[in-house]
Structure 1
């Protein structure tokens, strides 16, 4: 089978494809598929691949499990060896913006989070640059802040909210260093990969590099920095125009928009076993199409959600490339306006006019295609049906966040708020879930709330300038901050995601891995909201009803109705599948 995942790195024969990768994943040597593909090599990839073929010339059987494990111990280092913890050169224990938070409990909470930045700082060891072919890590020159947990490297869209938090903490030098890393990658690859590993180089993530630069520029007014970055920003924007654009026809009129379309038709190396399992269950006409849609959902950042499923429930019906997402197009619309503004800041009137016209034209056609006047909101467009999808997600509010609408039309914001309420997205006590769809077992569905989604919704409502919408934004910020605060008080942990559905605290579940602690973008969103609402937010420790985690009160309809590759549902079935599958060749 001719699969497309190889990067231009020599290490791709180990980490992205081949007999060794397939054997390790099918023998289930690690609980998390990501563990193997993050392990550095002790020798060159060519030497290791040849040694493996020499030691295992025949088809590998389940009985070879311990021999393969021994081979890995002999030829691979432990995970995380190529990164060192680092000191943030600009860190300060009491940043002025955080000291301005009025509520003393929230002020202490902010200072506690500020200390977490130092624990998440990483810098690449010298050997990463010298022996780049011996690892999956993509070399970058500067230190950076990681999300945390299993996410040992940097990630694209996470970094926008991390930077929002770093700026709240006064970490301008670190922010500039991280932007420099992204510039380094764009100049080398032409785009920002999903994350800092070679196996992420066939896909990107939501395009937030341009907004990141805007945030830094707003904080520093450094025009020399801006002028040096604008060509790189233009290059990344061109990538989305050239590699992720698509033509659609609506009411006999042709439009060009954007969608997620990963340049891969193979199992994701970091979730290799899970993707093979999904293919076995789905039995699709084309495994290549299925795997491309899976990788494209990962490119969206929403991996996974009923938003991408044809039947709105099962991962096996995924059709990401058939969806033209409202939020992706709104983000790129916002990027057009940002580029127009920033080109004007450096005195380039021609490029300012170019992007201003592009933005104005895009706002018009964006409304024509994505806005449902009867519903009063923006929805994803489905290329398969030729109509808007009617399922409600908080992504419908992203155009408010990026301001991809006619600001003279004050009714649009009010209509979106009304729709969010009517569709049930704003009824929950601890924030906004990523959907109201129950029973999918996916982490980007009910009952999980995520920091970036809540932040974009809150900020989108706030930026309308309409008092009713701004009050709703404050109410939502209060709910989100309260849940984060009380969980932190109970566990001293900031999580990747939260169950927002109950008044009491319940641990978030779903997806391909357990909930991760750290956590970069969660910290960033909390700090940004605490600074934005420094004089308005209140919380009292005694106001919470129950600080005990409830682990076992999910009913079947609520959570377990769909196919999930999470460890707690995946492993028993997968082991049985592997034993049967390994009676045959490990080759495709």
Structure 2
């Protein structure tokens, strides 16, 4: 049944009756009657009942209002649609588009309208090695208010990166030519205040795009990865000027593998495989940087001083100690330290660890605070093990075991298999703790395990580097320490038992749950034949996303508190994806991806239970 409704009048009447807390949403927190009579001039009548249907009506009216028409036709089937179908449909047909950006004439306005940096000038930095881009953007500068285009030097030093913190801006990404017109290669942002391309977010987003059949959009992400390696020397934490010295967890070959499975274009694979090998050798395998004497890798960001992206006051608990040391007020010390009028080797070392922790993607966790650059993390070494096995696989499958890297080098699968075997042996030697059935990070400075139980212990399942026995122990003995009603937490509860109660609540620790950890766990369980466990863990996470969307006006947040099964987070940085009026245009990038990917491998009977919001603890006793 379809209703012809006056948009403004119906919207105002609905909000006046049901939005009792005035947040322009209809949620379980509102105290209205939760019963709204819908009628139109044609005599159609329906009663809309409950939070879910009322919020759907609000969303449909909000969508219609964007058309600037007085009236609209609302289909009742969109109001009563089953939750799983509605959430998945919105992600596929609406949210991905809402998160897509380009840096070009068509998209520049959306990029420079930025709530992160309140500057009268919007700076766009272009690499020294891309003259075409510099010429294009300089022409665009002339017709774009606020835009200021700056070409970067050939060599980006930590000192240079520090110097441009006074002029923070966006870094250019790839351009392409279509029908004689230059356009930006599209990318998908995480959402909310994250209005730029993030490194590891983009891999999980691409997985969601591939699941939704959007192969071209996933390939665009790969093109922007390639551009960053070719022109900035690394896949960036994000394409902002203050991330020039920082990379992200290595997932490029996983993206190549996923795309090749759907579109086995040998020329495309060759282009990207060459760049992935370049990244492996130049970013990860330089001894003394991200490669250590132990034979394993670490995160080791460059840069000087405080990370620029944090909110004011974020480091006050640390800086106060040094303000007392130098006997000057906190804000004065902060300014002098930022300006390098005061330098302190001990504080500089703290921030090396902090930037390295942010490079890991886990910003922040007590596991890595003030120690990250001293650790051969199980996370990065699992990811690099998969790089090595992925490259071996691609060479064997698509290039007859002889890949022409350049005119002087031909790589065989065996060459990369040897690398992966060495890494596997080292991981078993340094990271695997047989007595506790867990992978710990290894402190190569102290030459001992770093005893912090983190969800990264499940990365080896995803990377296929476990033995069958190790996998069984991880699932039977270790997984229960992390499993909660809505998925796995970033750490075990035990890991944070001895943390100072006055310390900041770190968002990548217990009790918070994140999409990357869930996705990598699911894939890992399936790799080793734990299909029933995988189904359970997928259900738990999708149940929580569905519950949040049903009860909170379609909210799909960045992360969850798994202790309260809520998007209401009381930790550093809050929770992105929860602030909107009437309807979310975006969801949140990797949360969207986890929903679509999870649904693609979840059994149909469990999808029926999701629509009923059946409690996972009742289903999986």
TM-score by length of 1: 0.68
Partner of 1:446 in structure 2? 510
Listed as ranges, the matches of 1:369-448 within 5 Å are: 369-405=430-466, 409-421=467-479, 424-426=481-483, 428-435=484-491, 436=493, 437=496, 439=501, 440-448=504-512
- Stretches of structure 1 that go unaligned for 5 or more consecutive residues are 1-102, 249-254, 310-317, 547-588
Partner of 2:306 in structure 1? 267
Cα 1:104–1:138 change in 2 (3 A) is: same
Listed as ranges, the matches of 1:458-473 within 5 Å are: 458-465=522-529, 469-473=530-534
Match of 1:150 among 181, 188, 193: 193
* Residue deviations 1:103-153 (CA, integer Å, cap 9, x gap): 964233211221211111111133753243286111112111100011000
CA distance in 1: counterparts of 2:254 and 2:610, whole angstroms: 34
C-alpha deviation, 1:240, in angstroms: 0.8
Match of 2:384 among 332, 343, 353: 332
Q: Secondary structure at the match of 1:266?
A: coil
TM-score by length of 2: 0.64
CA distance in 2: counterparts of 1:219 and 1:237, whole angstroms: 24
CA distance in 2: counterparts of 1:447 and 1:377, whole angstroms: 19
CA distance in 1: counterparts of 2:603 and 2:82, whole angstroms: 11
* Partners of 2:84 and 2:611 within 8 A in 1: no
Cα 1:384–1:273 change in 2 (3 A) is: farther
Whichever of the two has the greater Rg, that structure is: 2
CA distance in 2: counterparts of 1:118 and 1:376, whole angstroms: 43
Q: Secondary structure at the match of 1:332?
A: helix
Match of 1:501 among 548, 553, 563: 563
Counterpart check, 1:347 vs 2:400: yes
Counterpart check, 1:280 vs 2:312: no
* Residue deviations 1:453-512 (CA, integer Å, cap 9, x gap): 1111122112112xxx3222211111100000110112212110011123x535123113
Cα 1:292–1:145 change in 2 (3 A) is: same
Counterpart check, 1:122 vs 2:178: no
Match of 1:167 among 204, 207, 210: 210
Partner of 1:290 in structure 2? 350
More strand by share: 2
* Residue deviations 1:195-250 (CA, integer Å, cap 9, x gap): 011111111110111111111111111112101212111111111111643434xx
Cα 1:152–1:164 change in 2 (3 A) is: same
Partner of 1:49 in structure 2? none
Q: Secondary structure at the match of 1:484?
A: helix
Cα 1:282–1:329 change in 2 (3 A) is: farther
* Partners of 1:268 and 1:275 within 8 A in 2: no
C-alpha deviation, 1:348, in angstroms: 4.1
CA distance in 2: counterparts of 1:144 and 1:370, whole angstroms: 36
Cα 1:360–1:384 change in 2 (3 A) is: closer
Cα 1:331–1:411 change in 2 (3 A) is: same
Q: Secondary structure at the match of 2:286?
A: helix
Q: Secondary structure at the match of 1:507?
A: coil
Partner of 1:554 in structure 2? none
- Residue correspondences, number: 421
Partner of 1:106 in structure 2? 84
* Partners of 1:260 and 1:296 within 8 A in 2: yes
* Partners of 1:279 and 1:290 within 8 A in 2: no
Partner of 2:241 in structure 1? 198
Q: CA RMSD in A?
A: 2.3
CA distance in 1: counterparts of 2:453 and 2:210, whole angstroms: 33
C-alpha deviation, 1:190, in angstroms: 1.9
CA distance in 2: counterparts of 1:122 and 1:182, whole angstroms: 15
Cα 1:272–1:537 change in 2 (3 A) is: same
Partner of 1:525 in structure 2? 594
| Superposition misfits of 4+ residues, deviation over 4 angstroms | none
CA distance in 1: counterparts of 2:605 and 2:309, whole angstroms: 43
* Partners of 1:370 and 1:388 within 8 A in 2: yes
Cα 1:247–1:146 change in 2 (3 A) is: closer
Cα 1:498–1:272 change in 2 (3 A) is: closer
* Residue deviations 1:248-287 (CA, integer Å, cap 9, x gap): 4xxxxxx311101110131111126346524313438621
* Residue deviations 1:509-528 (CA, integer Å, cap 9, x gap): 31134434531011111111
Match of 1:241 among 285, 296, 300: 285
